[in-house]
Structure 1
């Protein structure tokens, strides 16, 4: 096949998350969090990707996708791969993590309880739960419907069957039965019920966990209109009753009973996914914290200060003198939200324009915008209302900012807005000045603590003039924007990337070394993959860091020789997009919000911006090269998908090195100013 299917490739990425669980260099309870990350990723995968495949199979005739695979084939492959991964997950959890936790005095009870623990479980049930739950008899029910993502105990007693929802919000999932100097004994809510079945069902009853995942796609029509928020709100409710993507069940359930439940829920056999005794391992994000055992967690590393801003009495003047480069989470994202708050409070600021893709519930960014609007400044907000799983937060803040006086637009017609940028217009002695922020990651204080991204605060008119064009388009959608410096999708980005690759080809044919470094989250666009192949066949060396989906596979010997792809999975989620073209020794370097996916290059507003400062160019190239040689966290990302680690004996991972690189860069930029 010419391409790897995107979903099969994504599963290889999630396997890399699972590899972190068995890594002895990672603190024990952080490895438990990687189980939560793996499970959370997989849950979203089933809600979105698997549901989409089932939809295509059922309603679109099981036609081949653009990678030349049929949904039926992909679904079979997914089931096979996930089944093996789930088996591995169980092995790691029960035979590696739990014994290690017990050695640390954290006793996670999952097998047969001793008499004392069983007595404590019964006491807890009598004191906290006995009168506060509902048991549903479904023995003779022709139709059964489960809440999306809720865990139920499917209880069998002779010929009768019951369902009992596990309400973790009410009771919590992880319950401390006992805590003393010998250790802490923790049990799951599911087992509290299991060991008390005799009190509310019968002594012979048995309970098994089941869970349904449903299609999370909203299926909004392409036409954007004034009622889009109402449509989104209405569609969000349908997620609870969407097309089932999988019924996860304890594989110990006798087949006739899970088959009965399947028929009651009107599911086909391919929806059945066997699993272990417990589901929703992503709840381990909420596992109790042990502050007396800090060696079980990642050690805290101090963020690198931006001395220029810390020592400045006027950030506007500082940014006018020279761009400010920031790197998260190695530095504090609060520099960005503080700058917006300064703008909100500054009487000379007249206007703020911003794009919001994913914002957290208590967003300081949005609070600054709210204050600016309340003070009478012109505030324009493009709130992308179709950012999946963040629709509620984006609608909330959009409506709240609208009430404060901001002009809010909830998306564009047929285009998602994925750019991470804002502009600030300010009256100054020399006239009106425009300041801007351009970044690779969301304007989100919460995710900036765990996503690795870069951003630039600037007053450079080459940026601000063209960002004004971007916002003019988003406000009117009628203009035909022109760009000379920014590469903006869907207008110029794709063609500009093609031109940059073509230049490397021409130089290589002239005997000049052709070299390209690319760092993205996903490489999925077939046209770009084919162009990379053509570039490699011309003798250009292409080195890529692709964290997740990678649909490329080599077709020629030269492609095999000239294209290297590495994936890095570590403490922080690699999220930065960097494009570096050697350009005959006069490098062209860009940071971007866009991955090399069709949706980014053709279906979204994305902003890719050049880096002209030689120190920052060197820093970005050093980041990529360090990741390409990261023997601690780097894996070969190839068509075999076996996630083989890079060879080497590095003492530090590339992310550990980034703290050093960022510190060095801050010293260089402070000195060069």
Structure 2
């Protein structure tokens, strides 16, 4: 098959179709009302990051010559135009959902979001007093001088573009910018009246009290409209890891705040002449001009207060215990006997913390090795590692400083760990360390015995409450021997290859995955049953897509579960007739990577930190690992089967990219996340 001719959906457009699935959750009437608002928030935050990173990259590529575009395989300018068309359509859907549907449903529940024009005298006085006591001192308006450069608008900050008007004299018009500080709470709950609940946003409070800001000027009326600029967030860093790396990274983070404007979100009620002033001053491209709604930085709505009944949110799920692991019994003694699986977030992340705490205090433990990518704000993982050092253990941490948008937090943790005596390796030259692995060395009867935790998700107790991941405890030598070799290389700031059981990027992964696919192709060509089930967040690597098409043409049955980007196009004659793809978007974020291969009846299963993207094969240190315990393998297989059967939250990925909900022949509704929770509850409790 020619690489140019294979069906391959542009990854940026595929990502937008994924974000549309998030928008579908906000539109789903079976989802509790406050949760629907949160899905709007997630949609908005996703889109913001998309512009900061992906659109920023495309914008740089847009000026390539025709020869370079041919090598790239697509025209960046054309894709940017397609992105704008899709985004504008999504923003209209977003606005309709919020203004016409969700606000109406809030009202049905006696909850009202008031704006600056809807305050009666009593609530107006309450708001004005709050403004003067809590907000006014935080606001510093910037008056616009036509003879001076336009002020630099900060990335993702909310602003009001203000015009002061004096009747009969256009020359005396004045313009100003008012920034809404991050430190201000976004929502204010107003006093309840007759069982009615009222909420007002900070920007409406400011609009209501504009005269308290501009009282020194002689004007007849004020106009104020919200705007938000999203800037290029890609980092320009020297790739050489040296003693100056942290300082270089800090400087690059400062640059990010001043990157090229990628998107201007503006209130559609803004007069055209005011908008024209902004566009000319910001020098923003046409495709970056996005008509928005009254409220920007909608990501803050993830914290929208529920002042109504508990039924407006998903009920909190009580974490399920892991059968066989007990708080008052050594985890090491249990793992020495068999492997244990923790299915997050259905089961508690405390087991991983207990594993690290036990390692920190166990007199027989001499060394801990761990890779850290994204960490919680108040990390219990970090505290356990520091306590291990205080108890005389050798602790080696590989902290990935270049984890996008977590760089500042990881710099903080790196400094803290180093101050406490932890051996910190903060990256490899040219590679991100994205693996999620921990190895504990324990002296038993005079010899070293190793215990490991390997996972599909980060050592982050906060995200573990909302991300679906698998985390495994094992002492199997097949795994731990490879981990000893891997950590030895990482601690020496190198990468290794030729592992016997692990699938490790950047040197081994592609060939090993190809080998596993080739085995199924060989079986199919021999007339034997052959199949694959692959679950990932993203499928965007052209080589893998081409290999899956080859397998499909050989007769291998391929079922894919892809939450986000999917550049493979299923159901195309001559390419993907034996491939089906579903995407599940639900209460929890599906984050696990699971690879299952038929292997002529001896089914093999791997978990991994890696998606099927070029960066995961070539530019990151990733670890895939086989599931060797039959009971653990069966549990994961059962969960995957629930997902393949899902006919409530699964969408079909197809050539039309219409995100139709998946239907099957089952006579009952199967919602995989609910099914998984009930299954684990029955099995473990």
TM over 0.5: yes
Q: Once the 2 structures are TM-superposed, how far is the Cα of residue 64 of structure 1 from its aligned partner?
A: 2.9
Identify the match of residue 647 of structure 2 among 620, 626, 631. Answer: 631
Correspondence for 1:658: 676
Alignment of 1:386-535 (within 5 A): 386-429=402-445, 431-477=447-493, 480-535=496-551
Change (3 A) 1:418 1:126: closer
Distance 1:443 1:131 in 2: 40
Q: Is the 8 A contact 1:539 1:558 kept in 2?
A: no
Alignment of 1:575-590 (within 5 A): 575-590=591-606
Correspondence for 1:148: 155
Q: Once the 2 structures are TM-superposed, how far is the Cα of residue 168 of structure 1 from its aligned partner?
A: 4.5
Identify the match of residue 312 of structure 2 among 291, 296, 299. Answer: 296
Distance 1:539 1:272 in 2: 47
Correspondence for 1:137: 143
Distance 1:181 1:32 in 2: 25
Correspondence for 1:165: 179
SS at match of 2:533: strand
Q: Once the 2 structures are TM-superposed, how far is the Cα of residue 666 of structure 1 from its aligned partner?
A: 4.0
101-110 vs 580-589, greater mean Cα deviation: 101-110
Q: Is the 8 A contact 1:63 1:70 kept in 2?
A: no
Distance 2:681 2:482 in 1: 31
Correspondence for 2:235: 218
Correspondence for 2:260: 243
Correspondence for 1:23: 28
Correspondence for 1:670: none
Distance 1:179 1:664 in 2: 43
Distance 1:340 1:66 in 2: 48
Q: CA RMSD in A?
A: 2.0
Q: Once the 2 structures are TM-superposed, how far is the Cα of residue 659 of structure 1 from its aligned partner?
A: 1.2
The TM-score, its normalising length taken from structure 2, stands at 0.93
Identify the match of residue 56 of structure 2 among 47, 51, 58. Answer: 51
Q: Is the 8 A contact 2:530 2:598 kept in 1?
A: yes
Correspondence for 2:620: 604
Distance 1:461 1:130 in 2: 63
Q: Is the 8 A contact 1:630 1:650 kept in 2?
A: no
Which aligned segments of 4 or more residues in structure 1 are displaced greater than 6 angstroms?
Answer: 59-62
Correspondence for 1:194: 207
Q: Once the 2 structures are TM-superposed, how far is the Cα of residue 92 of structure 1 from its aligned partner?
A: 0.5
Distance 1:239 1:60 in 2: 27
User: Which structure 2 residue ranges, 5 or more long, are not aligned?
Assistant: 166-172
Q: Is the 8 A contact 2:570 2:581 kept in 1?
A: no
Q: Once the 2 structures are TM-superposed, how far is the Cα of residue 446 of structure 1 from its aligned partner?
A: 0.4
Q: Once the 2 structures are TM-superposed, how far is the Cα of residue 127 of structure 1 from its aligned partner?
A: 4.9
SS at match of 1:53: helix
Q: Once the 2 structures are TM-superposed, how far is the Cα of residue 60 of structure 1 from its aligned partner?
A: 7.7
Change (3 A) 1:43 1:585: same
Distance 2:293 2:434 in 1: 38
Change (3 A) 1:310 1:18: same
Q: Once the 2 structures are TM-superposed, how far is the Cα of residue 365 of structure 1 from its aligned partner?
A: 0.8
Deviations 1:67-99 (A, max 9, x none): 722221111111111101010011000111111
Identify the match of residue 184 of structure 1 among 191, 197, 201. Answer: 197
Distance 1:507 1:132 in 2: 69
Q: Once the 2 structures are TM-superposed, how far is the Cα of residue 623 of structure 1 from its aligned partner?
A: 2.2
Correspondence for 2:170: none
Q: Is the 8 A contact 1:197 1:203 kept in 2?
A: no
SS at match of 2:336: helix
Q: Is the 8 A contact 1:545 1:624 kept in 2?
A: no
Change (3 A) 1:588 1:186: same
The TM-score, its normalising length taken from structure 1, stands at 0.95
SS at match of 1:38: helix
1:230 aligns with 2:247: yes
Change (3 A) 1:379 1:200: closer
Q: Once the 2 structures are TM-superposed, how far is the Cα of residue 112 of structure 1 from its aligned partner?
A: 3.8
Correspondence for 2:168: none
Change (3 A) 1:135 1:477: closer
Q: Once the 2 structures are TM-superposed, how far is the Cα of residue 357 of structure 1 from its aligned partner?
A: 0.6
Deviations 1:290-335 (A, max 9, x none): 3x61111101222210131117622211110111111100100110
Q: Once the 2 structures are TM-superposed, how far is the Cα of residue 373 of structure 1 from its aligned partner?
A: 1.5
Q: Once the 2 structures are TM-superposed, how far is the Cα of residue 57 of structure 1 from its aligned partner?
A: 2.0
Q: Is the 8 A contact 2:571 2:655 kept in 1?
A: no
SS at match of 1:284: helix
Q: Is the 8 A contact 1:63 1:71 kept in 2?
A: no
Distance 1:496 1:480 in 2: 14
Q: Is the 8 A contact 1:198 1:204 kept in 2?
A: no
Q: Is the 8 A contact 1:619 1:661 kept in 2?
A: no
Q: Once the 2 structures are TM-superposed, how far is the Cα of residue 560 of structure 1 from its aligned partner?
A: 4.1
Q: Is the 8 A contact 2:434 2:622 kept in 1?
A: yes
SS at match of 1:531: helix
Identify the match of residue 78 of structure 1 among 76, 83, 90. Answer: 83
Q: Is the 8 A contact 1:519 1:577 kept in 2?
A: yes
Deviations 1:516-536 (A, max 9, x none): 100000000000000000000
Alignment of 1:320-399 (within 5 A): 320-399=336-415
Change (3 A) 1:450 1:302: same
Q: Is the 8 A contact 2:142 2:177 kept in 1?
A: yes
Q: Once the 2 structures are TM-superposed, how far is the Cα of residue 639 of structure 1 from its aligned partner?
A: 3.0
Q: Is the 8 A contact 1:615 1:665 kept in 2?
A: no
192-201 vs 386-395, greater mean Cα deviation: 192-201
Q: Once the 2 structures are TM-superposed, how far is the Cα of residue 193 of structure 1 from its aligned partner?
A: 2.3
